[in-house]
Amino acid sequence: MQMFCSPSPLASLAWFAFLVGASGQVSNKAQWRGQPNRQAVKARAETPVIKNRSPLENFRFLDSATKPYQVTSLLGVAYDIGEMYSGLVPVDERNKSRALFFVFQPTIGPPVDEINNLVKWRTCSLEGFFQENGRFLWQSGQFAPELNPYSWVNLTNMLWVEQPVGTGFSIGEITATSEKDNAQDFVNFFLNFQNLFSIQNFKIYVTGESYAGRYVPYISTAMIDRNDKTHFDLSGVLTYDPCIGATDYTQQEAVAVPFVLENSNVFGLNESFIEQITALDKSCGYAEYREKHFTFPPPGIQAAEFYNYSIPHEAECDVWDDIYYAASAVNPCFNMYLIVDTCPIPPDVLGFPGSVEITTPGLPIYFDRADSLPQVIEHTNRVLVANGDLDFVIITNGTLLAIQNMTWNGKLGFQEKPSAPIIITEPDLQYEGTVGVQHYERGLMWAETYLSGHMEPEYQPRTSYRHIQWVLGRINQL
């Protein structure tokens, strides 16, 4: 399920206006909010708006070199945005025709010598900035952007990067032929970025979502290989609903049927279709595969499994696509990223509220370097892999199955089945109680997130906030 950042013309114009510093006003109607009689809501409503400040006041990274990158206002945002920078930084200073687009926002909390790199967030990193973990949110169905109480900017300096070259607003000839090439481009860009902003000796964190399950390990490994703690002191990694291992087989096909059976009240598929896919689950070997390998500890390395969908008898085993099209027939607004979505589709300023407009079922066969993620775990001992339970693109048990085929710190997979609850007790409007499952072994933290789809910071921002707190070393368990 590889996706590329290809915004609609309208979305592109919106982004351009949003990031060049245009100003706008929000109507009084847009600022009205119904207020349930709850103390947490009252407390949030009383949170003071950021006061207007001098452009130079407390701006840690602003100087003559970074001034051209400063963003002073955002279209439609009625708040002082504080310190923010955006623009293009070249991959190679000798050839500025290839450059990556970024948004950099220093923390609004106490100053910290660390940077969190978001290398890919679903289709592009700006989607994360705009609708998941940025300082402001403009999610599907929202009339106007609003402050995000669970922004990661509260905790650390955030850098959203459109990568690889050719993605989103990044520019240049696409020359990479492998994930190693992409990783080298990013690391070179990041070194130039640090030189521009006079950054040295910071702790570095790398995070991403979806296909970043490929990018994050390669980029992190490239940083480790530089052996340069002045610029690449990799200290932690986080990936949400990541593509890892043999994604099309392990994370989709082999676990699709039990996922449908567990969520039958959501999918609403008829009995004859359920019987059909259940039979395929057995005849195609998926049920036997799960029975053998989905155990704790794992019995051994999983055999490589791939399909050639152009061969009829192999194409018959493509149950994931069968389910997707059947679900779309029942629910024309079926969203593979969040299976509980139904019609009508809410308006979305990015033109991509779900999977209806852009659909690319099935990841291509991918040669996966086996040592990237294990090397990162062994280097940092602070890697978090999370999966949302309502995601049909990257299914939770499929990600666990992939982990059970990975060797790190001397052992294969998790030795115990994840079972410890993630519990949030502090009062708030939502996201309370038992919100998931956590499990830590040998440097790897696993988090299963309840009632969340593919974009976890968007659907369960409070739980995601806990995740990044753990990665940054602020807390010891979720």
CA distance 121 to 192: 22
> DSSP of 64-96, one letter per residue?
TTTGGGB----TT--S---S-EEEEEEEETTEE
CA distance 207 to 474: 16
Q: Is 467 an annotated catalytic residue? A: no
Q: ∠ at Cα 353 (130, 330), nearest 5°? A: 160
Token match 């194409």: residue? 315
Token match 């699709």: residue? 256
Beta strands in 173-305 (DSSP E): 203-209, 233-240
Which candidate in 231, 439, 454, 467 is catalytic?
A: 454
CB atoms within 10 A of CB 261: 14
DSSP-derived 3-state class of residue 421: strand
Q: Which of 229, 238, 162 is nearest to 7 (CA)?
A: 162
- Using the 8-state DSSP alphabet, how is residue 39 labeled? H
Q: Is 210 an annotated catalytic residue? A: yes
CA distance 419 to 295: 13
Buried b (16+ CB within 10 A) or exposed e, 53-69: eeeeeebebbeeebeeb
CB atoms within 10 A of CB 153: 22
Q: Is 391 an annotated catalytic residue? A: yes
Which candidate in 86, 210, 220, 355 is catalytic?
A: 210
Which candidate in 185, 231, 391, 452 is catalytic?
A: 391
Do β-strands 411-412 and 407-408 pair in parallel, antiparallel, or remain unpaired? antiparallel
Q: ∠ at Cα 281 (276, 287), nearest 5°? A: 150
CA distance 20 to 122: 23
Q: ∠ at Cα 32 (28, 38), nearest 5°? A: 160
Residues in CB range of 346: below 8 A, 6 or more apart: 140, 141, 353
CA distance 404 to 244: 11
- Using the 8-state DSSP alphabet, how is residue 402 labeled? H
Q: Which of 280, 242, 206 is nearest to 1 (CA)?
A: 242
The separation between CA 216 and the C-alpha centre of its own chain, rounded to angstroms, equals 10
CA distance 237 to 383: 5
What is the set of active-site residues? 210, 391, 454
